[in-house]
Amino acid sequence: MNAFPISKKLISTVVLLSFSLISNANDQSSAKEGEPWQLIIQLDNDLFAGEDKDYTNGFRLGFVKELNQKTDLNRLLEKQLYRLSGGDEDKGIMRWRIKDRENLRFAYGTGLTQLMFTPDDYTTANAPKGERPYAGWLGLEFSLHVKNADQVSSATISIGTTGDNSFAEPSQEWVHQNISDSPIYQGWNSQVPGELTVNLQLDHKQRFQSFDNSLGGLLEVDGYYEWGAALGNFRTNAYGGALIRVGHNLPATYSTPRVQLGSYGHALFRKAKPANNAVSLLMFAGVRATAVAYDITLDGPLFDDFETGVESKPLVGEMIFGVGLRYGLIDLSFSHTIRSDEFHGQDKNQQFGSVMLRLNSKF
């Protein structure tokens, strides 16, 4: 089944090496200064929207830590990420990623992400023609974030695998048997076969300064526009979008409210302390358009001859809306995403809900 077999030992080795790299980088920063860190747990699931098909589940466990601005990035990978994130000197096309290089802050991130996709019909041994093929992906992400008062740029490298070693089948079966009491899907033997994937993702967010205002003293409004691009044999695409927040005592930190490769939930924009009132309540809404050149879960492996039975669409749009709550150093958000058809023959738009929990060490 797996044309590119990857052992559990290899996956474990990659995870341990990456966490070791993060630890070494953190050791270079000043421990006395106690740079803030964040632990992020995110879950996407279509059962929150009353469905059980297509993009059916996503889970991420992430960790982000700020670094001292003068940290010596002396490793080759770190240096490349530093340049790609836009924090390097003005060089080539990168000069427009971070325009104001005064008071820059840096953060490293690492995360473990699992995604799974299924057809609508769970009873057949193969995904019915015209329905999404079975696919799973498990990957480790390593990222660098550069930010100032108005913008943040990120560069992320992800290493992962599709197929049996994504553990999508046992994960779904365990959840359906022990949590949701849902039917067991019968076609995982026909899933997109295993292939080692390597992806580079660039992301940028820019604050809408004109929206950063107070509405009568009790409510505030702010927002940002964003763009990003990915290159690799998991996904190759480019996107653009925007998001607006309205609420009371808006936190200076903000997390992407759903699982998104290459865009971690971390502190955005101002490094201001929260208001005297420790509670924040907010609503948010956003849109995004994505141009898709390649998606392994729809187009099949790049290095293996495998027919998925579907043809992906080159342009996908989506809308997201939700609510958020902050109390002290804890952030919790709930969101709902409506996504347009990702392949020809998809019977209706995909919908799924998301939950995000973020624990902060400090502001």
Can you give the three-state secondary structure of 63-105, one letter per residue?
EEEEECCCCCCCCHHHHHHHHHCCCCCCCHHHHHCCCCCCCCE
How far apart are the C-alpha atoms of 253 and 266, rounded to whole Å? Answer: 7
8-360: CATH class: mainly beta
Instruction: Please count the other Cβ atoms lying within 10 Å of the Cβ belonging to residue 219.
Output: 16
**Angle, vertex CA 209, rays to CA 206 and CA 210, nearest 5:** 135
Question: Is residue 201 within 8 Å of residue 229, measured between CB atoms?
Answer: yes
Rg over CA atoms, the chain: 20
- Tell me the pTM: 0.83
The pLDDT of residue 31: 38
How far apart are the C-alpha atoms of 58 and 354, rounded to whole Å? Answer: 9
The pLDDT of residue 280: 86
Two tokens, residue 112: 């473990």
**Nearest to 225, CA basis, from 238, 211, 206:** 206
pLDDT tens track for 330-342 = 889 999 999 999 9
How far apart are the C-alpha atoms of 163 and 196, rounded to whole Å? Answer: 9
How far apart are the C-alpha atoms of 203 and 97, rounded to whole Å? Answer: 9
Averaged pLDDT, groups of 10, the chain, 363 residues long: 42 46 43 69 89 90 77 53 58 55 74 94 90 95 81 88 95 90 92 95 83 69 89 95 88 74 57 62 94 95 89 94 89 93 88 91 66
The pLDDT of residue 155: 85
For 187-253, list the strands marked E by DSSP: 196-207, 213-215, 219-232, 235-248
The pLDDT of residue 135: 96
The pLDDT of residue 328: 81
The pLDDT of residue 48: 86
The pLDDT of residue 4: 38
